[in-house]
Structure 1
Amino acid sequence: MSIQWFPGHMHKARLEIQAALPKVDVVMEIIDARIPYSSENPMLAEFRGDKASLKVLTKSDLADPRLTEEWLDALNSSSSTRARAVTTDDVPTIRRLKSALIGMCPHRKGRLINAMVMGIPNVGKSTIINFLAGRKVAKTGNTPAVTQHQQKVDIGDGVILWDTPGMLWPKVHNVSSGYRLALIGSIKDTAMDYTDVGFFAARYLMDQYPDRLAQRFGLESIAETEMAVIEDIGRRRGCLGRNNRVDLERASRILIQEYRTGGLGQLTLETPATMQRERILTEKVVAEAEEAARLKDEKRKKRFKAKQKAQRKSREMDASRRERRQ
């Protein structure tokens, strides 16, 4: 499944973020604790450069606590980055993010601190802003792309939050990241294939959390293939069609929904080691795509030049024939 979901307002947001970043003191990037790597926007990392960054891992109550600690250690290893894990069940921890932002800007002591809030769709960015502001100033929802315009929010103690629209990047080259983004709901359901995502989820859960699958769906054993697992889930949940065949899409929807709502427990879909491996693979994929685009462009230019040359030659021959006739 190739993810390409980049609505017009996201392109506009990208340009606005690039224009505003020079005026910002610190960046607060909201990422999902279940997929800290895949929910980081590589485009935002490129824009930010060396600017101080506070990574906020939201929905940590849905993530594997052991892996969340691994992620915090990995993210905090960078000199310009600090990381915090939060959940809406622990509001004081969220409100302490303001102190963290202030502590990352000692050079702004006694002056306003401008903190830009970034994040992909549906990671809880607006919810974090509302808690920090102590009031509802940003729209929230369970579907991506709720926020579509920038706004500034004064959260007190000299900190101004610059809220930005949730933004993906034009093409998700890492196929696994695309599936993970779809699985947590950061891509509109109309832009994904439920069965593809369900098969991806089944494979990962079979490998990493088989006991959770068996317990949640009352399975006596875990089948050997993704399709067989989805079929078993479908039979247990009544997703049967004609001739008692399992409706794979309905069964996949159930598995996806169980994951999103925490029905399968606290699960994380990637580790810091996963990030290191996939970064190397993604760099290779991007390099190959760029090289293919370059070769395609060269061929296009050659065809254009050959066409121009043929047209010139034809004009010269026509001119020569006219001269002979005269």
Structure 2
Amino acid sequence: MNIQWYPGHMAKATRLIKEDLKNVDIVVKLLDSRAVIRSENNDFNKILNQKKFIRVYNKCDLADENETMKWQNYFKEKGEDVFFIDSMSKKGINEVLSYLNNIKSTFRANREVRAMVVGIPNVGKSMFINSITKKSNAKTGNRPGVTLSKQWIKVKGEVYLLDTPGVLPPKFENLEDGVCLASIGSVKDTILDREELCLKLIEFLIERYPDKLKERYKLESVEKMPIEVYEDIGRKRGFLLKGGEIDYLRTAVTVLDEFKNGLIGRISFDRVCDL
């Protein structure tokens, strides 16, 4: 399965981000707590050069709590400024806002703080901005590609945020990266073979979170081949075609949607021990 999605607007957005960097004081790299490593676009690191940045991991409510704790300790030991937040419930939002307001004291000029928010599609940039401003300034949606233009937004205190479109790297390093990012919703599922993606996701869940998979779909066992578990899920949900054949597409759409919305459980793709 080949997973790539880099439409023209992403290339344009990357160029604009590079141009706008000279007008900002700090970059907020918004990432997904479920994919601590893979939700980071390494192309941004090349563009940022020496620009100051912080990492803010959104959707911590969907990530494995034990793995998140290990990541927090990992970054603490490295002395990095990192925040794990949930924009929906506003958990951790005040800490990020306080940090941005406090860095004003490091400026020579008496002016506002200008921060740029960057990230891959569907990490929740617009929801983050709406939560931190307590307004509905930015468009939101649980699908990639909602924000297509840049906009400056006033935040409480003396902070302005520059919202930017979500941008993926032009090419994924390997299939596992593509499966991870597609599963968390950063790649439009309409361009994918959703049945094959579902099979890859089930394979991952059998390996890392078998109990959650078994409990969600009321399965007797997941100690089987991924395709057999896939079919068991279809049968349990009653997704059958004429003649009793499994409706693989309907099953795939259901599993992928339930995973993205956290219904299978709190799950993390990336672990500190994998470094």
- TM-score, scaled to structure 1: 0.79
Counterpart contact for 2:87–2:124, Cα < 8 Å: no
In the TM superposition, 1:78-117 aligns within 5 A as 78-79=78-79, 81-91=80-90, 93-104=92-103, 106-108=105-107, 110-117=110-117
Counterpart contact for 1:2–1:172, Cα < 8 Å: no
1:271 corresponding residue in structure 2 = 271
In the TM superposition, 1:53-92 aligns within 5 A as 53-79=53-79, 81-91=80-90
The AA in structure 2 aligned to 1:97 is: V
Q: Report the identity percentage.
A: 36
If each structure's helix is expressed as a fraction of its own residues, which one has the higher value?
1
Give how far 1:78 is off.
4.5
1:193 corresponding residue in structure 2 = 193
How many residues get paired? 274
In the TM superposition, 1:27-176 aligns within 5 A as 27-79=27-79, 81-91=80-90, 93-104=92-103, 106-108=105-107, 110-176=110-176
Give how far 1:53 is off.
1.8
In the TM superposition, 1:280-291 aligns within 5 A as none
Give me the whole-angstrom Cα distance separating, in 2, the residues matched to 1:245 and 1:187: 29
Give me the whole-angstrom Cα distance separating, in 2, the residues matched to 1:139 and 1:90: 18
Q: 1:190 to 1:233 in 2, by over 3 A?
A: same
Greater relative CO (CA pairs within 8 A, separation 6+): 2
Give how far 1:91 is off.
2.2
Give me the whole-angstrom Cα distance separating, in 2, the residues matched to 1:223 and 1:102: 52
Q: 1:51 to 1:72 in 2, by over 3 A?
A: farther
Counterpart contact for 1:55–1:84, Cα < 8 Å: yes
Counterpart contact for 1:27–1:52, Cα < 8 Å: yes
Q: Which stretch shows the higher mean deviation, 67-76 or 128-137?
A: 67-76
Give me the whole-angstrom Cα distance separating, in 1, the residues matched to 2:145 and 2:175: 21
Q: Which stretch shows the higher mean deviation, 67-76 or 16-25?
A: 67-76
Instruction: Give the 3-state SS of the residue equivalent to 1:114 in structure 2.
Output: strand
Q: 1:198 to 1:99 in 2, by over 3 A?
A: same
Give how far 1:16 is off.
0.6
CA distances 1:136-190 after superposition (whole Å, capped 9, x unpaired):
1100011111111111112132211111111112111221111011111111111
Give me the whole-angstrom Cα distance separating, in 2, the residues matched to 1:119 and 1:133: 18
Give me the whole-angstrom Cα distance separating, in 2, the residues matched to 1:100 and 1:40: 21
In the TM superposition, 1:210-249 aligns within 5 A as 210-249=210-249
Give how far 1:57 is off.
1.2
Give me the whole-angstrom Cα distance separating, in 2, the residues matched to 1:8 and 1:104: 35
Give me the whole-angstrom Cα distance separating, in 1, the residues matched to 2:67 and 2:91: 22
Structure 1: which 5+ residue stretches go unaligned? Answer: 277-326
CA distances 1:177-216 after superposition (whole Å, capped 9, x unpaired):
1101111111111111111211111111111111111111
Instruction: Give the 3-state SS of the residue equivalent to 2:273 in structure 1.
Output: helix
Give how far 1:102 is off.
3.2
1:322 corresponding residue in structure 2 = none
The AA in structure 2 aligned to 1:63 is: A
Give me the whole-angstrom Cα distance separating, in 1, the residues matched to 2:89 and 2:253: 30
Root-mean-square deviation (CA, aligned residues, Å) is: 1.8
Give me the whole-angstrom Cα distance separating, in 2, the residues matched to 1:76 and 1:104: 19
1:16 aligns with 2:16: yes
The AA in structure 2 aligned to 1:119 is: G
Instruction: Give the 3-state SS of the residue equivalent to 1:207 in structure 2.
Output: helix
The AA in structure 2 aligned to 1:195 is: E
The AA in structure 2 aligned to 1:42 is: N
Q: 1:146 to 1:89 in 2, by over 3 A?
A: closer
CA distances 1:296-315 after superposition (whole Å, capped 9, x unpaired):
xxxxxxxxxxxxxxxxxxxx
Counterpart contact for 2:85–2:91, Cα < 8 Å: no
1:318 corresponding residue in structure 2 = none
Instruction: Give the 3-state SS of the residue equivalent to 1:187 in structure 2.
Output: coil
Give how far 1:90 is off.
3.7
Give me the whole-angstrom Cα distance separating, in 2, the residues matched to 1:2 and 1:170: 13
Instruction: Give the 3-state SS of the residue equivalent to 1:91 in structure 2.
Output: coil
Counterpart contact for 2:4–2:172, Cα < 8 Å: yes
Counterpart contact for 1:115–1:159, Cα < 8 Å: yes
- TM-score, scaled to structure 2: 0.93
Instruction: Give the 3-state SS of the residue equivalent to 1:230 in structure 2.
Output: helix
